[in-house]
Every structure is written in C-alpha cells, then in structure tokens.
Structure 1
Amino acid sequence: MSGIVTLVGNPRGGSRTYDAAVRAAGTVAGLLGRDGAGEVVDLAGLAPLLLKPGASSAVEIALEQVAEAEVLVVAGPTYKGTYTGLLKVFLDRLPGGALAGTVALPLLVMGDARHAPAVEVHLRPLLVELGATVPTPGLALLESHLADLDGHLGPWAARVAPQVAAALREGARA
C-alpha cells in the first residue's frame, strides 16, 4: 500500500477538477496526520494511450499506483449526468477486486446541483465493484463552490476523515 493517491479523470490537463481533487486529498491527509496529498494520476496525459492497442508502460504504472493506494481520491467532472468516459476506460483496465483494501473517496465537479446524485449513483458503485471500501458519502462540488474551495473542503474533510481513519484501522486488522 502506498498512502494517498489522487486519480483525476478530467480529459483537460490543468483543470479545476485536478486542483479540487489534489486539495481535497491534501485536506484529508492533513486530518489523518499525513504529509502532503500524495501521488497524483492525471488521466489527461494518459488519454491518448488508453485506447491505443498494445501495452503502455505509463498506463501500467498508473494502474499500479491506483491499485496500491491506501486512500484513493477519485475525481472527475460530471459530463451528461455522470463521470467521464476517460475515467471509466481507465478503471475498466483494473481487474475485479483490484481495489480491495483501498479506501476510496469519490468526488465529482459539476455545473448544476441536479447532477449531485451522480457521485452516489454512478461513481460509488463502480469503486465498490472494484473492491474499494467507500465509507463516506461522495463529494459533489458545484463549479460555484470552487471560488471558496477551502470553505467546502474543510467541513467535508472533517466529516469524512474519522470514517476514513476507522476504515483504515479495520483494513489493518483484516
């Protein structure tokens, strides 16, 4: 296991989703007594390789980082009411059970509050299917929240950090 890993499924590099995800991971890490936000797997750079035939060492390394995460923040923008195809294509490369022993925190950035259920209805089940423990509600961040990101991340992280810590303790006993 390799600590906290952030997986960003936005097809645009340098996105607001990337910033929100890294800051969310750092906020939770701080409350767990860990230094920094950990490693980041940004799928924007891997997009051309994900549908290309044949193996890619960069993709394999990213899959390994994600599968070895102790805590995995999985973030993406909401497109057409759910997460991006880029995120799905990447996660589909993981074998069933690959996230066993991983505590996952789903996070979606969206333009409209009507898309908020996508975190629980679409992203959480995918992570659970891969074997992750998802002990907390996911975070639905409206684009309007990004102007005061710390004001939204602080209360969220304070709510989820104890549940993440408990899940990690449970995992350590298994």
Structure 2
Amino acid sequence: MTVTVVVGNPKPASRTRTAAGLVARGLRPDVEPAVLDLVELGPALLGWGDPNVAEAVRAVADSKLVVFASPTFKATYTGLLKLFLEQFDGGTGLASVVAVPVMLGAGPVHALAPDLLLKPVLVELGATTPAPGLYLSDKTFAEDGVIDAYADRWGPVVRALSRSTESVNHV
C-alpha cells in the first residue's frame, strides 16, 4: 500500500506539507506516506519528458491514496500543482488512485475551494474522490481538531476504498 502526499506549495518544507502529512496519517495511520514536494521539481515541470517528473508521475499514479495539497493562492490552488497535474493523461492518469484534495488558507472565505476547484480536476484525471475536500486554517490546523474530525469521519471510507483498489489492481 502506497500513500503519497503531493505538495503544491512553492515554499519548501511548508505548512502545507506539514498539514498534508497529518491528513494522510490520519486517514491511513497504518502507512507512512511518501512526500512529493513539487517545488523540488522546479522548472522541470514546465516541459515534457523530464525523467524526474516522469518518475514522480509514475509514483503518484501507482499510489493507492494521494493527498493533493496546496495553499490557496488567488482563490485557487497553485500553478505549481496545476503544472504537475497537467502531466497526467485525462480520464485515466489517476484511475487507480483514491484522492483527497486539501487546501490551506488564512480565513474561511475560500472554504469551498478544494471541492469547487481542485476536486473536479482530480476527477477529470480519473481519481476516485469519496470524501469532501478539506479546507484548513494555515495558522491553526495543527491544534484545532479539524484534521482529527475529518479523519474520524472519512478515514473508514478512504481506507476501505484504497484497500479495494489495491486488491483490484493485484488480481
């Protein structure tokens, strides 16, 4: 079972990365998530055929659960995450992946952004997105209990689906 966190924050080792790791561990406490901090791929995301980007795409597509995380920039997810998502084939690129969209922001004004903006792209790429997107306060996510409540509510669903895609892919 592979659980991956994809971080679309242009700052390395960001709060977005920390929050996404907590979400992944909350949803699948039995698996230590791999972390793909997209800022490390940098300008290689601007073209096609870079071997490091291709390997990152393969690793994400082969994962059973992926937490896609971004800060809220200009009312949506970052261009960095968009560049990475453009590397996947439409309809099939994430076909065996259970995906969870997570976004962080300074206030509640963009609370629907994960569901309205990020989730449709993940679905377009073939991902299964059984839970609502998660919007977190970038200042209080570590102690406000929102991640724990989300994991308690949606963890059983995500675990069941990520296990079922694992067994289907190994038959």
Q: Same fold (TM over 0.5)?
A: yes
Distance (Å, rounded) in 1 between the aligned partners of 2:89 and 2:83: 12
- Work out the CA distance in 2 between the residues paired with 1:164 and 1:15: 25
1:103 paired residue among 94, 98, 103: 98
SS at 1:40 equivalent: strand
Partner residue in 2 for 1:167: 161
Q: How many residues align?
A: 167
1:35 and 2:31 are equivalent in the alignment = yes
Is 1:17–1:77's contact at 8 Å kept on the other side of the alignment? yes
Q: Could you tell me how far apart the structure 2 residues matched to 1:92 and 1:147 are? A: 31
- What do residues 63-101 of structure 1 show as CA deviations (whole Å, max 9, x unaligned)? 111111100100010001110011001101111211112
In structure 2, how many angstroms separate the alpha carbons of the residues matched to 1:110 and 1:9?
A: 13
Unaligned runs of at least 5 residues, structure 1: none
- Post-superposition offset of 1:125: 0.2
Structure-2 residue corresponding to 1:25: 24
**Structure 1 residue 60: Cα displacement:** 1.0
- Partners of 1:146 and 1:170 in 2: how far apart? 30
- Could you tell me whether the CA contact under 8 Å between 1:43 and 1:87 is conserved in 2? yes
Aligned to 1:139: 134
Deviation at residue 61 of structure 1 after TM alignment:
1.0
TM-score, scaled relative to structure 2: 0.91
Question: What CA distance in whole angstroms lies between the structure 2 residues aligned with 1:58 and 1:136?
Answer: 30
1:82 is matched with: 76
SS in 2 for 1:100: coil
Give the Å deviation of 1:147: 4.7
Q: Percent identity?
A: 40
TM-score by length of 1: 0.89
Q: Distance in 2 between matches of 1:107 and 1:90?
A: 16
Tell me the alpha carbon deviations over residues 37-68 of structure 1, each in whole angstroms, 9 at most, x when there is no partner.
x21111011122111x4532211111111111
Give the secondary structure class of the aligned counterpart of 1:50. Answer: helix
